[in-house]
Structure 1
């Protein structure tokens, strides 16, 4: 007696026996525009969003005593985290949770923000669920209103930058810096300030990011510079100039990596062992990274 195969099972069987079809290629990053300031919500949630925006724009005021330098979040994430190609918050929020090789675990967006406080802000780390982290999460969430989750958005991070036509050098970068950067950031990279507030951020020294920050990678710094600098004259630097000036900036003294372990050499081996980090290398007779704690190389 013949048995009848149930319709769903028959369909699965035929699908398994059919020749494999080529899957359609995944779509490219989607274009997205964050909501305007005028669309910011009211009520308690709106209060959290506004607080997050204020922390983001004026970190040195709202998180004084928490951060350890003179940088605002908006100094690296331009236009208060709105600008495409400048690591905008709306393109980052919908990409988490995600695995990060930097700490070897799957990170929530809140954990990613904690990393910014530890490295880019060279400060204390607010707890998950703290008013600071919740407000920043609320702000980023609101900026992402209407965007799909888990789908890459065009403008995330920094635009990929081609390798330099020739090896980048400190000397060439110093010339680029003097001509294009020193007017705003200072000849010694110290930044500019007015009434105690940061106008142009420090690029090295005690008021800048520490050695563990993403901007401490020449690759990241070059991509940021090429896409976003000089302020008011974007597009005037060549690929070569961006790599040269990034090499110069990332070859200066700055606060110690908070992951410092035993010595500069050990810390470089564990966290900076790549061609884009100057940590532990000798520049102008000085081993970069040994100044903050008096560590032996």
Structure 2
């Protein structure tokens, strides 16, 4: 990056109409900005428009606030839902996990290596199996046991931890508890789950065993936003791997682990880079 310049990402969606791209690019030109990368999509069936612009400007870290203020009138004119963030800014992420640790370990490694633009601020679990791993990474670990009787109190504690750590995103990395409708509403659009199946097939418990019973030739995983409908939230990313008749249920579980890690890490990355826009029960991923 040239000295004295900073990079930003503008993500927006609005009703489709002629002139939107001109309005955005014209604004950036007036501000002395240089477009580095642009992705856009017009949804013709529903008349909606989506756009993500990566651009640079003269200035420093405080320039993004000035650009937000200057862009607000343009956004109002076109009735846009929009975000303008510093490019590469790390999002604060809280991870939830139960006993299966492969997705947790993968996210910790990718965050530590700089592959994910995240700051993992805490890990919450209903078990203590991964406490040592999490604390080795220097990340706070919170044990919050859950039973049917204590579930309301456990979820209240989770919300306290989200607020205390100022988490912008909650990631369910094989957290094997069903969240209440109340909690999913409060986390709408900022909680991602990994389901060990290529949804919408084989929902619920033991999807690999369901896949084995059906003799499938591929298994996969789905990362999706959490909502009140179990395993039916808007899909962000999916991965599959080929299998055959020689695979038993345990083999399918083993084969699926890598797909779970990759689908989840992709979803977290795309969300934190401002590439995912919710549209009802669907997502548009601009990449």
Q: Which has the higher strand share?
A: 2
Question: So what's the TM-score if we normalise by structure 1?
Answer: 0.23
Please identify the structure whose Cα radius of gyration is greater.
1
Question: So what's the TM-score if we normalise by structure 2?
Answer: 0.24
